[in-house]
Structure 1
């Protein structure tokens, strides 16, 4: 039985999951879900001190709940919330971002409060619609917009995309000086202290969290810091770990310094789109996702509202430029394009795409101007003539990967040359088989020639595959996805190897001219394969420039029991 104890005390079930409630400001209560023994987060990194999931209730004339919690806290969280308020009286549910550890109980809240209005960025609302599969009232907010709860509690929203999800918003309460930041400025740290009383005891965890989640988006961190620099912040209400109150300037200063240092060494792609026009944001974000696979920095910029100086400075720093075409009627966007052209130079790479809004600025005249300036085209213009499909998004994702690979080519060659000669020869003596991974998700499919494959378990039957983070098929290799592992035959693999090792244009069909038939999981089976196995991904481990994908094997078949698996013998072990 769970019992609520008065103010700033804990409630628990088994001692491993507890909840702390505390009034942190006028009419503002923190609901802190403490996960004492969680030892991993997002698969990629281990935790030494557990974690917390923080949610907040503002009870002014209008009532707002800021974020929910992880599904593992379902019973505890809902009992606590019911002890604080009748959920049906909550007017707004503010979604800082839709990652499941913060939005895992949104559907439960909607059931308890069907009239509630869900507040979030446009893309967050889209994500939620796909998550909860039921209608709900929404309020889409942009950076700078405000929501008045009464009693002086006026909430201002600040866009913070890519920190570390594309839909992140920060929320500032002008009455209390509380900045609700979700993942930003947080840390995976679990103890009974609500606030950051002891800087030295948590600084290492703060840095570790930044390195794992925020450093890949250092420029987005700097952009967010700039947007909040004029706010009078008295408390930073984070989504994980203690709330920041005693050393706010120190914490924000660390983010600033770390991000500046990271941005200095980062290859940057600046991506421009027009908000609320066609499918501009959706498509440009898909390109950005592909870029990010190649370990380059990405910065998304609104053509219709960015300041000319901001655009000029960003273009001067960027190695690559991507532009989603704005409408012909947008005066501000036209001025922004002129600023981009004035700041661009011949050492940069360019990619253009239509936005599909019906009155796009023509692509080809702008393309000609960039070519006259000497910029290198990373991919042919992407022309959107109808509602984007999965195939369209995959095309944009692969185009982003192409521009990223083009920009990092010299760095990759340098890394290849950096390994000790004897070491690379030794690594090359690790022999492997030859395989082709094939996958289908919805209407799109992909394939990858692979050699880093091994059987990883007997019970259950499982295999492990190393997949480079910049491979196009990486998007098909998430937990829960299914694929086919095709085993190639010694002496009969050369044609398939030549076909699947060639470079495909973004969006190209990788199976043209290849005989296949569908597996029970929908993925293509290669007719010329020696054997195949149908697999389902159960976990992923971050191994630097590769993911190690572990999958259970569902079924399989051998075409020729007398034939041998094709073997791969390398001469060197620092690239393939």
Structure 2
């Protein structure tokens, strides 16, 4: 292993170089302190950007690294190979965290042939703006490097970019997957030595990046099946997978099947390499998934018009990122928008968001066209000044959740009626206290009325809270996040309960008109609460439609020692 650390004034970056198979080496760029990624979901354990060198009779480099690693990565790769002898540079996809040094590699290895999907090579042209030798590959194409290393390519579009390919080395039986099966987890531990240590990060990564593309995940798994089980899954982020491969594969299969069961579909149209379209669309899709909706994402730049028509016709909700009005693909994008407009039905709902590329179509004009066709708005149009902030992404996620709840409204009503009367009333006799959970992180804030709360441990002091998956605050209660549990007073709680029970729009300030003060962990304390506890999320357990959050208690205080906790008595047991 080689570790190189940058000066202390820069967030800690290091490299790890390890052999992972015959003639195969990984160069892992460890980003120890990165705390935000992609759709602005929080990272508690940093992340890595994994690159791979295969040295047969010919040589191939699978992906590069983030541009922030330029001064570390480039000297290191040149100790492993004379770059003037590099034959192939395989681009799993063109997102900058994996392709940030492609231009640098081309400058040092002008003879190299860049290998990628058709869409990846198109994106790369717009990304690096230099000429290069290229090889376009599709499902089943191969490259023979010699010494048994025959590389076979698997199409995996929309995981999570439209240009993604996977690479299977027939000789070493290593599957190079870039984002697929990855996780944001930065440790020098090379492999998945402990399943329990990383499974929460594995699931969180799936929910944020793969879940919104569940049907594409199932399609990719089907294409992978004939290859057999890999010896190693060489991911682009986090540890490589070796010890629990059947388990990881089955989780992707089961989660994606669950996501795809819903007949309530939301179509999200975006443009992968234009402004902030891809990240905003992922945030909307993640929010809709939380509400149990099936999401199908379509890159408008590469969309087939007949497939667009069929998707719109079978969808209950639509979300469209505004396309540019000029450029190389403008005519095709106009055709996609026209196809969407020509296929909609009046019972659908539509949401619009600015893509942020600086040349967006007018949001007012497009909104008026949908209104004229009888469609209602799913949420207020998402617009912002400058670059999107964490609050922008939170608003987008909450907008997606609102739309997901709307398309599933009939199913929710049916579930309320599903229990027989005796069981329903008996379950409803389980009572609990009344609490307000509050959380705030980097321009994002949330609050929730809760009654499913109980103390769970003495050493350390800990408690559990059941949080519905479609609650907005759920994204602020990941492992390592902090929050405040505010205990409501029996004699003085109705106005607070009424305030936090009302429906808030995407991005609305939950604390407007409510007196608060900051806790030590930065979350709001309700001034009128009977008591409060400052907590840190330790673990999460999935329970069907809820997450059980176990949190340790850091500190707390009782404001009114003589006060009693408000208690909630339900009449029914199958809804709040």
TM superposition score normalised by structure 2: 0.68
CA distance in 2, matches of 1:141, 1:285: 26
Deviation at 1:498, TM superposition (A): 0.8
Q: Which stretch has the larger CA shift, 212-221 or 298-307?
A: 212-221
CA distance in 2, matches of 1:487, 1:256: 41
CA distance in 2, matches of 1:167, 1:274: 9
In structure 1, the residue matched to 2:41 is: none
In structure 2, the residue matched to 1:221 is: 217
Q: Is the 8 A contact 1:154 1:175 kept in 2?
A: yes
Deviation at 1:171, TM superposition (A): 2.2
Is 2:552 the counterpart of 1:530? no
CA distance in 1, matches of 2:154, 2:517: 51
Q: Is the 8 A contact 1:530 1:560 kept in 2?
A: yes
Q: Is the 8 A contact 1:349 1:378 kept in 2?
A: yes
Deviation at 1:241, TM superposition (A): 6.4
Deviation at 1:515, TM superposition (A): 0.8
Is 2:76 the counterpart of 1:113? yes
CA distance in 1, matches of 2:520, 2:253: 51
Cα distance 1:264–1:341, how it changes in 2: closer, same or farther (>3 A)?
A: farther
What do residues 385-410 of structure 1 show as CA deviations (whole Å, max 9, x unaligned)? 32100111111010000000001111
CA distance in 1, matches of 2:519, 2:103: 38
CA distance in 2, matches of 1:538, 1:174: 39
What do residues 280-331 of structure 1 show as CA deviations (whole Å, max 9, x unaligned)? 1111111011111011111111111111112112112211110000101111
Secondary structure of the 1:463 match is: strand
Is 2:250 the counterpart of 1:287? no
Stretches of structure 1 lacking an aligned partner (at least 5 in a row): 1-18, 32-53, 65-90, 99-105, 187-208, 245-250
Is 2:264 the counterpart of 1:267? yes
Deviation at 1:274, TM superposition (A): 1.4
Is 2:97 the counterpart of 1:125? yes
Deviation at 1:160, TM superposition (A): 3.7
In structure 2, the residue matched to 1:549 is: 549
In structure 2, the residue matched to 1:58 is: 54
CA distance in 2, matches of 1:257, 1:537: 26
TM alignment of 1:361-376, pairs within 5 A: 361-376=361-376
Deviation at 1:183, TM superposition (A): 9.7
Question: Which one of 180, 190, 194 corresponds to residue 175 of structure 2?
Answer: 180
Q: Is the 8 A contact 1:179 1:235 kept in 2?
A: no
Deviation at 1:342, TM superposition (A): 1.4
Q: Is the 8 A contact 2:117 2:163 kept in 1?
A: no
Is 2:142 the counterpart of 1:170? no
Cα distance 1:534–1:320, how it changes in 2: closer, same or farther (>3 A)?
A: same
Q: CA RMSD in A?
A: 4.4
Cα distance 1:381–1:55, how it changes in 2: closer, same or farther (>3 A)?
A: closer
Q: Is the 8 A contact 2:487 2:532 kept in 1?
A: yes
In structure 2, the residue matched to 1:311 is: 308
In structure 1, the residue matched to 2:392 is: 392
Q: Is the 8 A contact 1:440 1:522 kept in 2?
A: yes
TM alignment of 1:174-573, pairs within 5 A: 180=175, 182=177, 217-221=213-217, 224=220, 237=230, 239=233, 263=260, 265-329=262-326, 330-573=330-573
In structure 2, the residue matched to 1:203 is: none
Deviation at 1:172, TM superposition (A): 3.5
CA distance in 1, matches of 2:520, 2:461: 18
**Equivalent residues, number:** 456
Secondary structure of the 1:418 match is: coil
Cα distance 1:321–1:141, how it changes in 2: closer, same or farther (>3 A)?
A: farther
Q: Which stretch has the larger CA shift, 390-399 or 375-384?
A: 375-384
Secondary structure of the 2:447 match is: strand
